[in-house]
Amino acid sequence: MPKPRESRPRICDYEGSNYRTEFWEAKGRDYEDRVERVALRRLLPGGGRRLLEIGAGFGRLTNEYHAYEQVVLLDYSLSQLRYARQHLGGSDRYLYVAADAYRLPFRPGTFDAATGIRVIHHISDISAVFSQVRRALVPGGVFILEFANKRHLKAVLRYALGKQTWNPYDPEPVEFVELNFDFHPEYVQQRLEAARFETEKRLPVSFFRLASLKNRLPTDLLVGMDGLLQLTGLLYTPSIFTRNIALGASPNHLNTPSLFVCPECGGELAHDSATLVCRECGHRWAVRDGIYDFKAPLDE
């Protein structure tokens, strides 16, 4: 039976937000964008069949996945995905899926890689999401995860000076604003291991995320220095990237043409005009403007 909606985790919804224009384009975050790309390129495999981009948003990083035959952009916001589709196009190489990461609407083992960058920051139950990602990956698949680090240097100094109440060394996550979480590196690694992932590498990123530095020093210089410092393993930066390998036996449907299953019950889906209909529970899911909408069934 489907899980009652009222008992499901809270979801951060960027629907209709100005995230692209106000957060990225108008706030001088070229440095953050570029150092995240440096880390991502270091961790990405050389290529593959199909990659799942969780929390793809407006497609900021999607062009980094050019070595994959197909990229599935997943986000909870239809408006962000509409912009991504306008920007990237509606070819078979890109699929756009509106869904939450707690109920991925994919057949097990349909991806050989997945990324989650600037998304776990908004997840209250990361164990549930990691399990969903592991189910979607083939054995040996790569999961590149970025998370906001609770134990970053500024938090350590503020705590030492008595200017911050929460302890950056405490392994439990801190929710400093509603649905905005910072995580301790060891807490994240333990949850990944429980979901059957082996962490191969961890990179500290954004050493110079300070307006005073970004306003005074050339961006090229800061990005170059950050790229070198990423190799030190000093996990005291605001952002940490990890490369994780899916362990254990599990299904491999990488070459199966049909990716989707019902997120409510896992049943097979049949196409019916502009909808997908579950053969098991009967729920109907819309396809809107080239976007597969699994946020809520049409019959609710």
The tens-digit pLDDT sequence of the chain (300 residues) is 444 555 678 898 888 888 888 888 767 799 999 999 999 999 999 999 999 999 999 999 999 999 999 999 999 999 999 999 999 988 789 999 999 999 999 999 999 999 999 999 999 999 999 999 999 999 999 999 999 999 999 999 999 999 999 999 999 999 999 999 999 999 999 999 999 999 999 999 999 999 999 999 999 999 999 999 999 999 999 999 999 999 999 999 999 888 999 999 999 999 877 899 999 999 999 999 899 999 999 987
Q: What pLDDT score was predicted for residue 5? A: 52
Q: Are residues 17 and 112 in the same domain?
A: yes
H-assigned helices in the chain: 30-43, 78-88, 126-136, 153-160, 185-194, 211-214, 219-229
- Residue 107 is classified by DSSP as -
3-state secondary structure of 261: strand
- Angstrom distance (rounded) from CA 15 to CA 81: 10
- Angstrom distance (rounded) from CA 95 to CA 52: 10
Q: Are residues 54 and 175 in the same domain?
A: yes
Give the residue numbers spanning the domain of 297. 260-300
- Angstrom distance (rounded) from CA 104 to CA 116: 13
Q: Are residues 149 and 243 in the same domain?
A: yes
Q: Are residues 60 and 199 in the same domain?
A: yes
Q: What pLDDT score was predicted for residue 124? A: 95
Q: Are residues 48 and 131 in the same domain?
A: yes
Q: Are residues 150 and 294 in the same domain?
A: no
Contact predicate 130/197, CB 8 Å = yes
Tokens 């929390």 belong to which residue?
A: 55
pTM of the shown model: 0.95
Bridge partners, residue 96, by sequence: 73, 291
Q: Are residues 99 and 61 in the same domain?
A: yes
φ, ψ dihedrals at 3, nearest 5° = -70, 130
Per the structure, the count of domains in the chain is: 2
